[in-house]
Amino acid sequence: MFTPCTTAPDTAPLHPGDDSVVFAAVVRPRGDRAARRASPPAKWRQGGFTLVELLVVITIIGILIALLLPAVQAAREAARRVDCANRLKQIGLAIHNYHAAARTFPPGNLIKTVGVCPGSGGASAQSEDGTNWMISILPYVEQQALYERYDFSAYNEGLPNKSVRETAVAAYVCPSDQATSTLEVPGDGPAAAMQLPYMPGSYRAVTGRSDGYRYLDSGDFSNYPLAWRGPIHAVGAGGFTTERIDDVVDGTSNTLMVGESTTRTNRRFRTFWAYSYAHFSLSGATPQERGLWGDYDRCVAAGGAGSTFPCRRGWGSFHPGGMNFALCDGSVRFIPQTIDVEVLAQLATISGGEVAKVPAD
């Protein structure tokens, strides 16, 4: 008898070897398939950051920035210090090129009368200031046009020289120095009396050593010992003239020629490259630690022999730990702020007979 084929209901139990197993594996309840389509994969169901997790991430990022920022700043300052040294080397080369043409170093400041402070009579006083060493070497730092604009027949603060003293010269500015593109009225001399602004600089020539009272940067001196003089100083009075390489008998590799001079406070007493009055483009080496702080107000507050004189003729920079100096042989060395100040004073003379050596970098 023929027996019709029947399909087991969904509720029928499954047995091994039963053909209904295949059918059951293929046919699923419609309700189960709909549930799976409505439920997304596990990775789609992940939630966002909790507030605590977000705060932890922000804290970690802040710590990383705090750790990296000083390193980045240190790297930038290291690059600026190298650039600063290169500019100082360029100045040293310019001085040697000047010497090759003129057979002498340039005059520090050109003065006429000893024992008189130029411009001390106020705004109506006739200044005696002429050119200075930075103006003299302009052709050798690729500033021939600016040099030709300077009127050597007029005094330094005269109207014909306004455009020169208000011009920024990149070679005369250290990248680490601050506010170097802003005109400012110097804090002393005829320019202060006449309220004449000058453009800042970063470097000063070495006039020699000092006792805190006597400096060879203007006519306001008396009884300055010949053995104290440096390579670039005031000339035109008192029997002082420009120096030659042959006059550096203490050795060109152990005699300072130009160094960094700036101040963190009271910027009216910073370097002004075109100002030919006294200490604004020239400094002496005074054996006092305060003269290396690069901070005019702090130096004045500390007191010492010469009162404000050593502070106005101080050295300093924004580099950590010291400042760059160009030597008479044209090389550039980094002089630490912790140098023995007596050794520094000895390195500032060209024929003092000392045996001082420039510290190793």
Q: Whose structure tokens read 């690069």?
A: 294
Q: What is the pLDDT of residues 345-360, one digit of tens each?
A: 999 999 999 989 998 8
Q: Name the pairing type of β-strands 332-336 and 322-327.
A: antiparallel
Evaluate if residue 9 carries a pLDDT over 80.
no
Quote the pTM value. Answer: 0.80
Spatial distance between the Cα atoms of 245 and 69, rounded to a whole number of angstroms = 46
- pLDDT per residue as tens digits for the range 143-177: 999 999 999 999 999 999 999 999 999 999 999 99
Residues 306-337 have pLDDT tens digits of 999 999 999 999 999 999 999 999 999 999 99
How far apart CA 108 and CA 104 sit, in angstroms, is: 12
What does the pLDDT read at residue 19? 46
Greatest CA span in the chain, whole angstroms? 149
**10-61 residue pLDDT tens:** 444 444 444 444 434 444 555 555 555 555 555 544 556 787 778 888 888 8
Q: How many CB atoms lie within 10 A of CB 343?
A: 17
Residue 135: exposure state from Cβ atoms within 10 A (0-12, 13-18, ≥19): buried
Provide the pLDDT for residue 222. 81
